Amino acid sequence: MKTRINVRMSGLGGQGVVTSAHILAMAASKENLFAISNPFFGAEKRMAPAEAYARIGPEKIFDRGELVFPDVVMVFHPQVITMGKSYTMPFFSGLKKNGIVIINDDIDLLSDAEKEGLEKLNALVFYVPATKIAHEVAGTELATNMAMIGSLVGLTNVVSMNALDLALQDRFGKKYVASGGTATLDEAIKKKFAKKEMLLQKNLETIRQGFDRAVEFAKNAHYTPQMMA
């Protein structure tokens, strides 16, 4: 990986935004990259705004806290855009030129002003129906974040699928200890599956669906990932 990539994830409580940043950072560590993930939210409750940040690079990373200038903005829920349920407004504020926006939906949610702002940044905008994919592949919307992670990797190559597989095993296949709402969410996910092996398999399949869609989109858009792992 030649350059650092900064990812800002915006969603609502219960969607696994914080978990996504952590899994991504864990996957990066499997490939001997440096990574830091951290959450940013108020009340830990469902449907409340939630953000998480992942910083990944080939050299040590010292900055933490709010990510003001992301390379990638991930929108886990349409209400981040349509109802302003975000700590950062507009939702793509600070996005670097030639950055990437990944939105969980299959319809155009952007206003003319938002489109104009993103066009000025020459941003790549990718819509992926992550929640629908989660229902179809994993049988639960709780896997929405897996489809989002797959989309990110498909567009950036920031980590490999093998590294993600190993990170999932660490997170859900072992006795990982989380706190507060994150631990509750993890347990809710586990109860959806009879065995941990099935959980790992379904999560990886959901990631793969998001990944494949992103790769196909990039191919049709003649887009080459700039963040190479």
Domain-wise residue ranges, the chain? 5-220
Residue 107 CB neighbour total at 10 angstroms: 8
Angstrom distance (rounded) from CA 72 to CA 6 = 6
Reading the chain (229 residues) residue by residue, the pLDDT tens digits are 668 999 999 999 889 999 999 999 999 999 999 999 999 876 555 678 899 999 999 999 988 888 999 999 999 999 999 999 888 889 999 999 999 999 999 999 999 999 999 999 999 999 999 999 999 999 999 999 999 999 999 999 999 999 999 999 998 876 444 545 556 656 666 665 556 778 889 999 999 999 999 999 999 988 877 543 3
CATH class of the region 5-220: alpha beta
* Cα angle 203, 82, 15; round to 5: 25
- List helix spans (H) across 2-124: 17-30, 79-82, 112-120
